[in-house]
Structure 1
């Protein structure tokens, strides 16, 4: 499973990639986000174009730029991200196929384009969206929860929503976010990791929980430890997979209504 770290610290990001992560995400998304996520305890980044240039210069790993949701500014943001060396662009808050098609036109094959399925409209259109020539698709649980007016972050992982989207996706698929083995709240991170492996998740993100749990730790120790944990889940037999799924569902039910403030936005 590829791990993508959200950071604008070039040196630390380069170390995490050298330790085994696949790449770095620089996050430009902020238009309308404060209003949309008001009171939700989520993270809104203030990454800049200069941050993208610095990260690109620091690492040979994949550099991904999350731009703002589709609008009149999209073509300019795409051009700037490409010029500064982004290998891929992530388009958030997708609601229509037309938004994706316009962004693909703006990209014009110069880099990859991935999308975030984090609205009910996008969930309903997953098959059509997945038919586009995209570099990856990620299901964003926090904004999907907000869009559904729900208090249950992990509900789409147990009610069939994520699995229905996963069934439509042939390009790299991602969901959720991981931290170090033994961490995670209110659902233990190890159970979430096992669930991501069960769903054949190709990539996921390392964000606030991971960054907080890494304080004072060596990425050249901890990133391989996280990857080894994923490998152990991948090697589990059928009964182990089923037991982990049951534990995950039970943990989600026990955490019902509790939104972790450290969950990726």
Structure 2
């Protein structure tokens, strides 16, 4: 599983990539985000084009830039991200295929384009979106929970939503975020990691929990330890996979009736 670290700290980012992570994410998304996520305790970054250029100079790892959701500003943001050396642009809060098609036109093959499925509209359109020439597709649980007016962050991982989206995506697929083995709260990170492996997740993010858990630790020890734990999970026998899945569902706290229900077909929006 490829791991991408959110950071604009050159030394820290370079060390984490050198230790085995795949790349860095520089995060420009903030238009409307404070209002959308008011009171949610989520992370809102204030990264800049200068940060992107500095991280490009600091590491040869793959460099992703999350821009703002589609709008009149997208063309300028795409041009700046390309000019600062982004290997890929990540388009958040997708709702329509037209937004993605227009952004692909703006990118014009100069770098890759990935999207975040974090609205119910995008969940419904997952199959259509996956037919676009995208470099990756990521399900964003925080904003999807807010868009659904839900109080359960991990519900899409147990009610069939993520599994159904995963089945429709042929591009590299990501969901959730990871931290060090033994970390994670309120859902143990080891159980979340097992669930991501069970789903065939191709990449995930290292964010606040990982950075906090890494305090005073050596990335050249801890990143290989995390990667080794993911490798071990991939070779687990079916009985262990099922047992960890059951423990994950119990830790999430969603009723067994929801977790055991058949995965619904994703309806097309009117």
Tell me the distance in 2 between the aligned counterparts of 1:9 and 1:152.
32
How far the C-alpha of 1:63 sits from its partner, in A, is: 0.3
TM-score, structure 1 normalization: 0.95
Does the CA contact (< 8 Å) of 2:158 and 2:249 recur in 1?
Answer: yes
Does the CA contact (< 8 Å) of 2:4 and 2:206 recur in 1?
Answer: yes
Please give the secondary structure, in 1, of the residue aligned with 2:253: helix
Please give the secondary structure, in 1, of the residue aligned with 2:90: strand
Tell me the distance in 2 between the aligned counterparts of 1:65 and 1:24.
8
Cα–Cα, structure 1 residues 200 and 98, in superposed 2: closer, same or farther, change >3 Å? same
Q: Which residue of 2 aligns with 1:84?
A: 84
TM-score, structure 2 normalization: 0.94
Q: Which residue of 2 aligns with 1:119?
A: 119
Please give the secondary structure, in 2, of the residue aligned with 1:50: helix
Tell me the distance in 1 between the aligned counterparts of 2:160 and 2:167.
11
Q: Which residue of 1 aligns with 2:266?
A: none
Is 2:183 the counterpart of 1:183? yes
Is 2:35 the counterpart of 1:39? no
Q: Which residue of 1 aligns with 2:109?
A: 109
Give 1:39-188 correspondences, 5 Å limit.
39-188=39-188
How far the C-alpha of 1:202 sits from its partner, in A, is: 0.0
Once the two structures are superposed, what CA deviation does each residue of 1:183-224 show, in whole Å capped at 9, x if it has no partner?
Answer: 001100000000000000000000000000000100000000
Tell me the distance in 1 between the aligned counterparts of 2:53 and 2:115.
22
Does the CA contact (< 8 Å) of 2:27 and 2:45 recur in 1?
Answer: yes
Q: Which residue of 2 aligns with 1:29?
A: 29
How far the C-alpha of 1:28 sits from its partner, in A, is: 0.2
Does the CA contact (< 8 Å) of 2:155 and 2:254 recur in 1?
Answer: no
Give 1:204-223 correspondences, 5 Å limit.
204-223=204-223
Query: Aligned-pair RMSD on alpha carbons?
Result: 0.9
Once the two structures are superposed, what CA deviation does each residue of 1:30-67 show, in whole Å capped at 9, x if it has no partner?
Answer: 00000000000001000000000000000000000000
Q: Which residue of 1 aligns with 2:192?
A: 192
Runs of 4+ in 1 over 4 A off after TM superposition: none
Tell me the distance in 2 between the aligned counterparts of 1:23 and 1:162.
24
Tell me the distance in 2 between the aligned counterparts of 1:126 and 1:188.
28
Structure 1 residue ranges without an equivalent (≥5): 256-265
How far the C-alpha of 1:254 sits from its partner, in A, is: 7.1
